[in-house]
Amino acid sequence: MARYRIADTDRLWSALLGAVAVVVIVVGLTSTSSFLTEYNAMLGSTAFGYVALMALPMTCIILVGEIDISVGAVMGISAAVLARTIDAGAPGWVAALAALAVAAACGALNGVLIAFLRVPSIVATIGTLALFSGIQLGLLGSATFVKVPAWIYQIGQGAISSSGIPIVLVILLAAAALLWVILKKLRVGGDIYSIGCNRMAAQVAGIRVRSTVFWLFLASGVVAGIAGLVYVGPIGSINADVGTNVELTVIATVLLGGIDVFGGRGRLDGVIASIIVMGLLTDVMVLNQLTTTVQSLITGALLICGVIFPTYLRRRADRGIKPRAGQPANPGAGQLPEESDGATAARMAQS
């Protein structure tokens, strides 16, 4: 009985988000006349496409109970490498490969720190955030680079000929489908949920915890690098501000999608719904010409709401399950996710 209740909470949240998506579309349609025209549909997806891309590996990382705060900086460093290599006279594809290689190296550094040196991902990625965005600033200084190859512009801004479907949307759908297969059909998807539920148990059960976590961070780095290229196209210029504060929107999107901050729980369809809501919201905010100030306020508030509401719903659902003897119902004030919490106790009780 209890099991259905937990699943229902997660499903309920996804359905709720779907409803919100409808409301946002209605508000957008009524408040601005140009909403959802071809141009804005494209602008909307490109203005948010890079965030949506990074939200997918972030979903896995939060599912295993870690977090990657450095994604925005990796995105920035990849754009910076692209700009500098093109500036040095390299052809576009070499520059793009160099950017992706650096992004992969950044992801690998995160992975080594977190999986093998056991640095908590919060601190490790705050440190690498500073390191990567610092290198980005060091590479670019206060200069702005405007030489971007045409095909990168096409990826970010172009549409598949005549149909009007943005290329970013195609990439995004392919990535989402891939993630769905990974999470639902492949063994590693089950491993990801198991590690997030109970890392010790997963380790004892023979799941390769460390290498899974390492590869997830590496993947996050690579995807952030791709996101950097996607972002750079439509903007057409690269400076030290690329990627600043993007991680916040990415994390807010994932958490709002109902992925449990403590890991091990959450549905991909919730994240997809959340991507749609956040994308449309960004679109509405841009169309209504809200300043970045208000946008940062709203994102900050959404992040906190995205943590509070799903967590609250889950705790309510968990209350139906008796925690194991000796464990209080809701411990975990300000602890790291590794500590036992009500949800973990409940999950262990039901299995």
In the stretch 177-206, what mask flags binding to another protein with x, by CB under 8 A?
--------------------------x---
The residues in 2-31 that bind another protein, with binding defined as CB under 8 A, are none
Measured between alpha carbons, how far is residue 168 from residues 130, 165, 227, 231 in Å? 28, 9, 10, 10
Closer residue to another protein (CB): 154 or 292: 292
Residue type, 340: S
In the stretch 142-161, what mask flags binding to another protein with x, by CB under 8 A?
x-------------------
Q: 251 and 224 in contact (C-beta within 8 Å)? A: no
Q: Least distance from C-beta 83 to another protein, angstroms?
A: 14
Closer residue to another protein (CB): 34 or 288: 288
The C-alpha atoms of residue 222 and residue 75 are separated, in whole angstroms, by 9
The residues in 314-343 that bind another protein, with binding defined as CB under 8 A, are 328, 330-337, 339-340
The residues in 224-283 that bind another protein, with binding defined as CB under 8 A, are 245, 248, 251, 255, 261-262
C-beta atoms surrounding 175 within 10 Å: 17
Q: 114 and 338 in contact (C-beta within 8 Å)? A: no
The C-alpha atoms of residue 138 and residue 294 are separated, in whole angstroms, by 29
Among 300, 322, 324, 350, binds another protein (CB under 8 A): 300
Closer residue to another protein (CB): 112 or 171: 112
The C-alpha atoms of residue 220 and residue 342 are separated, in whole angstroms, by 29
In the stretch 47-86, what mask flags binding to another protein with x, by CB under 8 A?
--------------------x-x-----------------
Per CB under 8 A, 165 contacts another protein:
no
DSSP string of 76-119?
Answer: HHHHHHHHHHHHTT--HHHHHHHHHHHHHHHHHHHHIIIIIS--
What's the CA angle centered on 303, arms 299 and 306, to 5 degrees? 130
Which residues contact another protein (rule: CB under 8 A)?
A: 67, 69, 109, 113, 116-120, 122-124, 126-135, 137-138, 141-142, 203, 207-211, 245, 248, 251, 255, 261-262, 291-294, 296-297, 299-301, 303-304, 307-308, 311, 328, 330-337, 339-340
